Each structure stands twice: as C-alpha cells, then as structure tokens.
C-alpha cells in the first residue's frame, strides 16, 4: 500500500524519538501489505482496532501514542489521519478526525 502523509509521521518521530522505531515498523507492514479488507488488515495487525468502515487505530510505543489511518483498499492507499499521545487521542473524534 501507498502511505499518504508519511512525511508527517517522520517529522513526528523526530520530535518524539520513542516513536521512531514503532512508526518505521508500521510503515514496513503497511507498505508491504496488499490488503483487500479490514478483515485482512486485522489478520496482519491483530492489535489494531477497526473504527467504522475504513479506519483503524494502531497503538504506537506501547500504547503511549495512537495512530489513525483510513484505508482505500481498491486503490491500495493508507491515509494518515492522526498521530498523537493517548491523552490527545481521548480528546478527538476518531471517526472524523483529519489532521493531515
């Protein structure tokens, strides 16, 4: 899959070094994926939480940070919608947030 807004995650990892390795692993997983559905995503990333029809939440750095991505399986694109601390995540609407 192609990742839209990877530059945002890369910049975030620079500001929050503890996220650098987990975000790099997430990138490797998603770029290698050829998922056709949320079920296939869940099989590859069992700790991901499915949000609505096209979004998933991933825990980063032991759950201290949260990443939300929307997926267009037909076009094989992952759109980064949010990255932030657990506390910041608690203050947003995960189904509608679109920071990037």
pTM: 0.94
The DSSP code for 94 is T
For residues 10 and 21, is the Cβ–Cβ distance under 8 A? no
Q: Helix, strand or coil for residue 27?
A: helix
- pLDDT per residue as tens digits for the range 19-33: 999 999 999 999 999
List CB contacts of 93: < 8 A, sequence separation 6 or more. Answer: none
pLDDT band of residue 49 (cuts 50, 70, 90) is: very high
Q: Token digits for 89?
A: 């995540």
For residues 79 and 69, is the Cβ–Cβ distance under 8 A? yes
């Amino acid at each position: 899959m192609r990742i839209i807004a990877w530059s945002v995650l890369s910049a975030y990892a620079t500001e929050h070094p503890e996220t650098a390795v987990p975000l790099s692993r997430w990138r490797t997983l998603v770029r290698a994926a050829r998922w056709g559905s949320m079920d296939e995503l869940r099989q590859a990333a069992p700790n991901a939480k499915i949000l609505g029809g096209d979004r998933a939440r991933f825990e980063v750095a032991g759950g201290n940070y949260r990443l939300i991505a929307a997926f267009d399986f037909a076009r094989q694109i992952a759109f980064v919608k949010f990255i932030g601390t657990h506390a910041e995540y608690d203050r947003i609407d995960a189904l509608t947030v679109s920071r990037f």
